[in-house]
Amino acid sequence: MSWTEAFFGKYYLKTHLPILTEQKTNLEVDFIESVLKLEKGSKILDIPCGHGRHANQLAKRGYQVTGIDNQPDFIDLAKVESDSNSTFQTQDMRTINFKNEFDAVINLFTSFGYFSEEENLSFLKKMVDSLKIGGKLLIDTVNREWTMNHTGKINQAWLVYPPDNITFLANNSFDVFTSRIYSAQVIVDQGERYEQNQDIRLYSFTEIKMYLGMMGMELLQVFGNMNKDDYSVTSNSMVILCQKIK
């Protein structure tokens, strides 16, 4: 079993839904809408879409949204809130094959870098290929430089989610030679112990800009978070907006 299958399995929604509030989602969708600057009816690909919290909000605001995720439970949950402007399908994001179809592609919540170097860059190219000329790509990820400087300082983390009282613990490390963050996690639920891991390749701003430039994309803006703060090495996030020019 890959780390993604375990991590996005039994406990993901139980441990993440409490922090993914409606207010948080609305603020993030406000940001997405403000930077993409699309006409209503424009086509947006949300990949991976998780349980559809961004996709369904964008659909309600008048955009035609396609959400793709490889977790059937997430897609089933997304469909509960869907309407005529949103469609969802279960698919491994590495296997998409759209060509010049979307006005925008959004890749959020540090969901780029899950795989090998070759697979990551192949997926990046597939997102670019999905865009029409002039289409925009929005990538939101944790900032590599911030992570390098803070991982050792926040090595242990724990969260308790009432009323289930699930305890989540994480032991994080960053490998400067591979630029990957590793997180060994333990979840305790009513005495039951569940172990899972994360293993994500984090790309620097320079790397992402270079690869996107090679793929025919032009950088428009980079933010330090979805509040539109300036990006720097001290930003905990890196949010890149670029446009397909060829």
**81 lies in which domain range?**
3-142+203-244
Residues 193 and 225 in one domain: no
Q: What is the pLDDT of residue 66?
A: 98
Residues 53 and 106 in one domain: yes
137 strand-pairing partners: 105, 242
Domain count, the chain: 2
Going residue by residue through the chain (246 aa), what tens digit of pLDDT does each one get? Answer: 789 988 998 889 888 888 899 999 999 999 999 999 999 999 999 999 999 999 999 999 999 999 999 999 999 999 999 999 999 999 999 999 999 999 999 999 999 999 999 999 999 999 999 999 999 999 999 999 999 988 765 566 677 777 778 888 888 999 999 999 999 999 998 888 999 999 999 999 999 999 999 999 999 999 999 999 999 999 999 999 999 998
Say if residue 162 is preceded by a cis peptide, omega within 30 of 0.
Answer: no
Give me the amino acid identity at 212.
L
Q: What is the pLDDT of residue 153?
A: 59
Looking up residue 132, the CATH number of its domain turns out to be 3.40.50.150
Neighbour tally for 87: CB within 10 Å: 15
Residues 101 and 211 in one domain: yes
Residues 64 and 165 in one domain: no
Tell me 203's DSSP state.
Answer: P
Assessment of whether the complete model's pTM goes beyond 0.85: yes
Residues 22 and 57 in one domain: yes
Residues 58 and 94 in one domain: yes
Residues 151 and 128 in one domain: no
- Compute and round to an integer the Cα radius of gyration of the chain: 18
